[in-house]
């Protein structure tokens, strides 16, 4: 079966508080590249010679290796851009879930910021289906640190390309801008879509 992903539209049309439209648009081009490459890799996998598979080097092996990088890059950016157009006001069922799992919203944010400063790629608030609880997971690359069976709910891109144009090396101020623009309604939609509030370990 042919698999083809269609890139999502950017829902941001003007400067956001602390984030210029120019930087967001340039960043969005990288996301579009991930969608394009994901489709290309999956097409090439379909016709690649599987008999040449080898753990040291093989064409099919490289396709499989880069597939996880590309697919995760696509998925994580979709959540990131999807919830970058809000007013930053925490609301909804997700807040109650965070307060239960992290003691308080402030404690969650402190942990999330520490994750974001430590990570080289991503800080992700994810609902892990292993224990039905929320976790802040850090990832050094799209496919290094990803936890299987965990659904990203809030996704924070901390690659330098996400903030260098506006902030240089000042990652902390970029993190403040991210939280100011976070659309909690979008994150709550993910919670409802996957019925995470029902699965949540009360
Ligand atoms: Fe990015």
The three state secondary structure string of the chain is CCCCCCCCCCCCCCCECCECHHHHHHHHHHHHHHHHHHHHHHHHHHHCCHHHCCCCCCHHHHHHHHHHHHHHHHHHHHHHHHCCCCCCCCCCHHHHHHHHHHCCHHHHHHHHHHHHHHCCCEEEEEEECCCCEEEEEEECECCECCCCCEEEEEEEECCHHHCHHHHCCCHHHHHHHHHHHCCHHHHHHHHHHCCHHHHCCC
Confidence at residue 53, expressed as pLDDT on a 0 to 100 scale: 97
Look at residue 72 in the predicted model and tell me its pLDDT. Answer: 97
- Neighbouring-strand partners of residue 128: 133, 150
Residue 1 has a pLDDT of 74
Cα 53 to ligand 1 centroid, rounded to whole Å = 31
Distance 145 CA to ligand 1 centre (A): 16
pLDDT of residue 173: 98
Taken as a whole, the chain contains a residue count of: 202
30 Cα: distance to centroid of ligand 1 (angstroms): 7
Q: What number does CATH give the domain 93-199?
A: 3.55.40.20
Q: How far are the Cα atoms of 59, 137, 140, 152, 177 from residue 146, in angstroms, in the given order?
A: 24, 8, 9, 10, 25
Per-residue confidence (pLDDT) for residue 74, from 0 to 100 = 98
Please tell me the distance between residue 158's alpha carbon and the centre of ligand 1 in angstroms.
Answer: 7
pLDDT of residue 2: 74
What does the alpha-carbon distance between residue 156 and residue 49 come to, in Å, rounded to a whole number?
Answer: 37
CB 134 within 8 A of CB 141: no
**From the CA of 202, how far away is ligand 1's center (Å)?**
34
Tally of CB atoms within 10 A around 130: 10
> What residues of the chain score a pLDDT lower than 70?
202
Q: 164 alpha carbon to ligand 1 midpoint, in Å?
A: 11
Spell out the domain ranges in the chain. 21-82, 93-199
Confidence (pLDDT) at 3: 79
End-to-end CA distance of the chain: 40
The per-residue pLDDT for 202 is 67
Cα of 195 vs centre of ligand 1, distance in Å, is 27
Q: How far is the CA of 77 from the centre of ligand 1 (A)?
A: 6
Q: Which two tokens stand for residue 109?
A: 């944010």
């Amino acid at each position: 079966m042919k698999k083809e992903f269609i890139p999502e539209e950017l829902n941001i049309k003007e400067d956001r508080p602390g984030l210029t439209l120019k930087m967001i648009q340039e960043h969005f081009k990288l996301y579009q590249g991930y969608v394009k490459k994901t489709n290309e890799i999956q097409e090439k996998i379909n016709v690649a010679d599987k008999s040449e598979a080898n753990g040291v080097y093989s064409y099919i092996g490289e396709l499989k290796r880069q597939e996880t990088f590309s697919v995760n890059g696509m998925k994580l950016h979709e959540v990131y851009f999807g919830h970058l157009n809000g007013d930053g006001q925490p609301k909804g069922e997700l807040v109650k879930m965070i307060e239960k799992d992290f003691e308080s919203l402030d404690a969650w944010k402190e942990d999330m910021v520490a994750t974001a400063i430590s990570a080289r790629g991503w800080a992700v608030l994810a609902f892990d289906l292993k224990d039905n609880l929320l976790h802040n997971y850090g990832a050094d690359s799209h496919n290094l640190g990803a936890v299987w069976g965990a659904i990203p709910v809030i996704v924070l891109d901390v690659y330098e390309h996400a903030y260098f144009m506006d902030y240089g090396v000042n990652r902390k101020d970029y993190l403040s801008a991210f939280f100011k623009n976070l659309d909690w309604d979008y994150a709550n939609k993910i919670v409802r879509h996957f019925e995470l509030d029902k699965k949540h370990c009360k």
